[in-house]
Amino acid sequence: MAQTRIAVVGSGIAGLTAGWLMSKKHHVTLLEKGPSLGMAQHGVDAGTAQGDKVVDVPLRVFNKSYYPNLFLLCQNLNIDLRMVDHGGAFGYLNGDLYFRYENIAIGGKNYSYVLPKMKQLPWLLKVGWEILRLRRDMKEFLERDDCDEVRLAKFFEDFKYSRAFQYEFFFPILSSVCTCSYSALMEYPAGILIHGMQTLMETTPTQRFIGGTRALQANLAKSIQNVRYDSHVVRIEPSPKGAVVHYRDGVQEEYDHVILATQANQAREVLDVSYEEERSLLERIIYQTSDMIVHRDERLMPGPARKWSPVYYGISSQYDWPMATIWINKVEPGFEEGEPLFQTWNPLIPPDEDKVLGRTTFERPVVSLDSLKAVNRLANLQKDSLDKRHIWFCGSYGTPAIPLLESGLVSAVQLGEHFGVAKPSWFVEPSR
Ligand SMILES: Cc1cc2nc3c(=O)[nH]c(=O)nc-3n(C[C@H](O)[C@H](O)[C@H](O)COP(=O)(O)OP(=O)(O)OC[C@H]3O[C@@H](n4cnc5c(N)ncnc54)[C@H](O)[C@@H]3O)c2cc1C
């Protein structure tokens, strides 16, 4: 295939990966509406003893089991990773802890254990056996032929888990991983979430990029021929030879192909009505909105500092979501000393605004049995794109998995073959 002019809209993990890959063979223009690359656009400056340092927002973590390609990409680009302790505590919003586990790293593996604490005994007696049998039940469930065709609720019905197990353990964790409500989790295709939980519980340690997400995005962007910021795309319409991109300032440009690497709802918004089928498929991918704050308000943590863990899930039966807080000083180098610093997703306890350093509203796709069908159909439609449509889609919503960095990366790599660009030699096909 001759070199073509490709516009990639959006510079999150999907757009950066698509741009990095396609630029090996084609001329790529990466268009980002924000003032900097999208993957690390929401970082917040926080004071430390050594001056201001940037806290990644969200503070993304991953493990090798669920993110094999992200690991291999980092290895390939010489981006170093470090293990982080993501030991967790669970409590009610009044500050009472009911469960806490710690992690220990031995020989590059991570093992979780529970310290015997009298106060946790009643909860452990109620739910401990269910936590112990979870691995076995998940394995059995994933062997079922219908595991990808039923909702998560079916798993709990069939394996008879208590309400306490669901709402005080399983949901707070997965709701934070998926950035969605408990009700939305119940609608998730069960196979996707059970497989996600299974791999999260493996002994492969939780990791972060050294240098934060900025390190990865800078590395991916440097080989892309043309990277443009403040390039807000407002409309894309078909043209006889490709597609025309319209910008907010009224300028327009024609490209041979356009890859939309934005969120699905953002992609739908800019597509001209002549892309009717794509628009109706993208509409079936539903989003939920929630807030993330970076702050120093200790009232959002359970009691005194000796009770804190790197991750704290605060729950209340009044809410359909947990509040999840990461204790930054415990997980980010450079913040070990000094005032406590936190990142809280979904602050159910209103913070003291004077102690808030930054606030961001995020939208996250929620996977359902119907959205999976739409994503599948969109992938099939793209097989026609080279000669007919000239419009392509990738993003974390674009594979049958939890929408995370890995799925954004995989969906971008999968586009390569349509453009005559081979998958990287290290690429691992998703296991399910
Ligand atoms: C609170 C929270 C915590 C998370 N934690 C983790 C984690 O620990 N690990 C993990 O793997 N994942 C995590 N994720 C998920 C992960 O961040 C996303 O899956 C991933 O960033 C999505 O990447 P993307 O490239 O698909 O989309 P995005 O990152 O959303 O990128 C889309 C880009 O397109 C740009 N854009 C949109 N519209 C236009 C337009 N019209 N013109 C030009 N540019 C446009 C946007 O500015 C943006 O930069 C978390 C998400 C949230 C919300």
- What is the set of domains in the chain, with CATH numbers? 5-41+212-284+368-419 (3.50.50.60)
**Residue 280 has what pLDDT?**
98
Residue 83 sits at φ, ψ, to 5 deg, of: -75, 145
With the most atoms of ligand 1 within 8 angstroms of its CB, the residue from 17, 29, 33, 217 to mutate is 33
With the most atoms of ligand 1 within 8 angstroms of its CB, the residue from 232, 263, 282, 346 to mutate is 263
**Any atom of ligand 1 within 6 Å of the Cβ of 405:** yes
Q: HSE of 133 in the Cβ direction (CA atoms, 13 Å)?
A: 12
Residues of the chain with confidence (pLDDT) below 50:
none
How far, in whole angstroms, is CA 241 from its chain's centroid? 35
Closest CA to 61 of 173, 146, 182: 173
**Residue 1 has what pLDDT?**
60
Q: HSE of 420 in the Cβ direction (CA atoms, 13 Å)?
A: 8
Cβ-contact 30, 221 below 8 angstroms: yes
**Any atom of ligand 1 within 6 Å of the Cβ of 261:** yes
How would you classify the pairing of strands 252-255 and 311-315? unpaired
Q: Kindly give the number of the ligand 1 atom that is closest to the alpha carbon of 37.
A: 49
**Any atom of ligand 1 within 6 Å of the Cβ of 156:** no
CA-closest residue to ligand 1 atom 26: 395
Residue 216 sits at φ, ψ, to 5 deg, of: -70, -45
**Residue 387 has what pLDDT?**
74
**Any atom of ligand 1 within 6 Å of the Cβ of 12:** yes
Buried b (16+ CB within 10 A) or exposed e, 20-40: bbbbebbbbbbbbbeeebbbb
Cβ-contact 284, 366 below 8 angstroms: no
**Residue 120 has what pLDDT?**
85
Residue that is written with structure tokens 């003032």 in the block: 35
**Residue 2 has what pLDDT?**
62
Gap between the Cα atoms of 361 and 259, Å rounded: 25
Long-range contacts of 388-391 (CB under 8 A, 24+ apart): 389/238, 389/275, 389/278, 390/238, 390/241, 390/242, 390/243, 390/255, 390/256, 390/257, 390/258, 391/236, 391/238, 391/243, 391/257, 391/258, 391/260, 391/271, 391/275, 391/278
CA-closest residue to ligand 1 atom 15: 404
Closest CA to 365 of 274, 239, 268: 268
DSSP 227-238: EESS--EEEEEE
Name 107's Cβ contacts closer than 8 Å, sequence gap at least 6.
none
CA-closest residue to ligand 1 atom 19: 404
